[in-house]
Amino acid sequence: MQAPERTPRSVHDGAENDVSIVMPVLDEAAGIVARLQSLQALRRQGVELIVVDGGSRDDTVERAAPLADRLLSTGRGRGRQMNAGAACARGGVLLFLHADTTLPPDAMSAVRQARASGAAWGRFDVRIVDGPAGIAVVAWAMNLRSRITGIATGDQAMFCTREAFAAAGGFPEIALMEDIVLSQRLRARSRPACLRQRVETSGRRWARHGLVRTVLTMWWLRLRFWLGASPDALARAYGYTPR
């Protein structure tokens, strides 16, 4: 299915605190069924699940379709994919969930409590699983840094109201750092709700490349981004070739 024209707001008028989960995927056939099955209880509770494929060359689409409320196809790029999902979401709250990240059991109640407290956007603390020794310290530092700076990353399952997302202009459709840029835009309007509940995200890249090397690479990329480097150039340095 082709995605509708991308706009930073939904064409639907969902209830203010209804949640739509938007999951961008690319070549996730090996794990997509288990990941989506873990979200079926939320679907039965009325949470909308939108999967947005970025051009998978494996069986991701076929395996995901029966387990999602909507499955869209777009060009590659998380920003583009998440904008497409947001554009057709019915919920008043958008939660952006990476395919290798698992929500805690009380995620929806935590989001709704944050909304009841007046938060327009926020993120969860993160726990990195299946990573090398010392990865817990990295996760602790990520959570602390985010709490201090008000900047969230995609691994922390960012969420925001549809209105805040529209006011921020949605995700920039760039090769990398789309989560950082959206956080900056949202933070300019209000501070995030930094939830203590933890999502679990895969440590596969940390295990593959090593803890120290991955930390240094991520900081180097972020520094270059702040200094004005092209996201496409950063993506190539990260081993992700835009197309």
Q: Give the integer Cα–Cα distance in Å for 158 and 153.
A: 7
CA 90 vs CA 48, 49, 125, 198, 222: distances in Å = 7, 10, 26, 25, 34
Output phi, psi for 70, to 5 deg.
-145, 145
Structural domain boundaries of the chain?
19-124+151-198
CATH 3.30.70.370 fits 19-124+151-198, yes or no: no
Per-residue pLDDT 10s for the chain (243 aa) are 444 333 333 344 456 679 999 999 999 999 999 999 999 999 999 999 999 999 999 999 999 999 999 999 999 999 999 999 999 999 999 999 999 999 999 999 999 999 999 999 999 999 999 888 889 999 999 999 999 999 999 999 999 999 999 999 999 999 989 999 999 999 999 999 999 999 999 887 777 778 888 888 888 888 898 898 888 888 887 776 544
Could you tell me if 182 and 168 are in contact, meaning their C-beta atoms sit under 8 angstroms apart?
A: yes
Nearest CA to 99 out of 178, 5, 7, 30 is that of 30
Could you tell me if 71 and 61 are in contact, meaning their C-beta atoms sit under 8 angstroms apart?
A: yes
